Amino acid sequence: MSTYQQIMQSLKKGQWQPIYFLQGEEPYYIQQISDYIGQHALPEAEQSFNQSVLYGRDLDIQTLLDNLRRLPMMSSHQVVILREAQTIRDFANKMEAYWNNPVPSTIFVVQFMGKKIRGNSKAANAIKKNGVLFTSDKVRDYKLVDWIQQHISAEGKQIEPKAALLLAEYLGNDLSQIVHSLEKLEVNEVGDHITAADIEKYVGISKDYNIFELNNALMERQRTKAFTIIRYFGANPKACPFPVLMAGLYGLFSRLLILHGLPTHDKKAIATKLRVNPYFVNDYLRARQQYSVPQLRQVMRVLSEFDLKFKGVGSVERKDAALMQEMVAKILL
């Protein structure tokens, strides 16, 4: 199965395939490949009459096949982009005859978002034989910092680990949103070395009031700073939505529990086990001194308790701001 890098290298050489079946949960790569084909497979002057964009929800198989079998006008090929293909019931199997015998003059791009066909199915084998089958998987949370650094490096720039982590913690694994945020830096002509200050200034993440800074305050048991940040979250819910807050706290204290059980002192091995960038290992080692194993187990119980309370399970009606402050107070006991 082709990788994203392999597909893009081939496309940039003008090596077009009759089928591009783009599937999976991460829309960023699917859209990048699809957009590149739509913009470069045909000269701009030909796109209006030799390029079609169809939608699965409005389509039946016969109409699709009619479009695929249409001859290009005054060109060697046409492009057909099918969006929302996953909405067509049993799509891959219904198109099996086409996968086995695609029209050579048609470049057929399929966006099969959020789903996958079986890799050993007849349809998958036929697609791989006569075209490209690409699966776009979500980037795991613990790999986001590395992904951001690699993405920036490919642009000939560098980003400090703290800045990459700030983006990852704030935006999660929405690659399109991350790339859009990085484009803001380019618009503002930020230099080749991107810092946390650049992210704070141009992406709009507050230096003092984000989950990254809250985690730092809790790791160092800085009570005043932690309560200042959590009060801000309570007054400004959009600054750190509840799911982001809880995911960040669960991640932090879970890693500290794991760290207590590691027999090694090798920082690279610790980074691998914790699934964090080696740059941050020293922060975790210092935090380990602040929390014993019994304390961490109690913190995990507190997080579970307040996760239920925020969801309205077994608690009287209270404002989120008050619950947040009570939760942090119990964490820092």
The pLDDT tens digits of the residues spanning 49-86 come to 999 999 998 899 999 999 999 999 988 999 999 999 99
**CA distance to 65, 182, 199, 201, 203, per residue, from 188 (Å):** 46, 10, 11, 10, 10
Closest among 275, 277, 215, 276 to 240, alpha carbons compared: 215
To which residue do tokens 């050993």 refer? Answer: 120
Q: Name the percent of the chain lying above pLDDT 90.
A: 50
Closest among 160, 99, 159 to 130, alpha carbons compared: 99
Neighbour-count burial of 314, counting CB atoms closer than 10 A to its CB (0-12 exposed, 13-18 middle, 19+ buried): exposed
Rounded Cα distance between 42 and 312, Å, is 55
To which residue do tokens 């964490």 refer? Answer: 331
Q: What is the pLDDT of residues 215-235, one digit of tens each?
A: 989 999 998 889 888 888 888
Average pLDDT score over residue span 236-263: 88
Q: Which residues pair with 22 in a beta bridge?
A: 111, 134
- pLDDT bin (cut points 50, 70, 90) of residue 317 is low
Write the CATH number of the domain with boundaries 4-136. Answer: 3.40.50.300
Write the CATH number of the domain with boundaries 141-203. Answer: 1.10.8.60
Higher pLDDT pick, 79 / 184: 79
Q: Which residues pair with 323 in a beta bridge?
A: none
**Cβ–Cβ under 8 Å, residues 79 and 51:** yes
Two structure tokens written together for 40: 């470069």
To which residue do tokens 């077009």 refer? Answer: 16
Provide the sign of the torsion angle of the four alpha carbons 263, 268, 269, 272, taken in this order.
positive
**According to the CATH classification, is domain 211-331 in 1.20.272.10?**
yes
Do the domains 141-203 and 211-331 sit in the same CATH topology, yes or no? no
Per-domain residue ranges for the chain? 4-136, 141-203, 211-331
Average pLDDT score over residue span 120-145: 91
Is a pLDDT exceeding 60 seen at residue 316?
no
Rounded Cα distance between 241 and 118, Å, is 36
Is a pLDDT exceeding 90 seen at residue 245?
no
Rounded Cα distance between 230 and 79, Å, is 52
Question: What's residue 165's pLDDT?
Answer: 81
Average pLDDT score over residue span 240-254: 88
Closest among 8, 30, 6 to 137, alpha carbons compared: 30
Is a pLDDT exceeding 70 seen at residue 318?
no
Contacts of 114 (CB under 8 A, 6+ apart): 24, 25, 86
CA angle 68, 73, 76 (to 5 degrees): 75
Average pLDDT score over residue span 115-132: 94
Question: What's residue 249's pLDDT?
Answer: 92
pTM above 0.75, yes or no: no
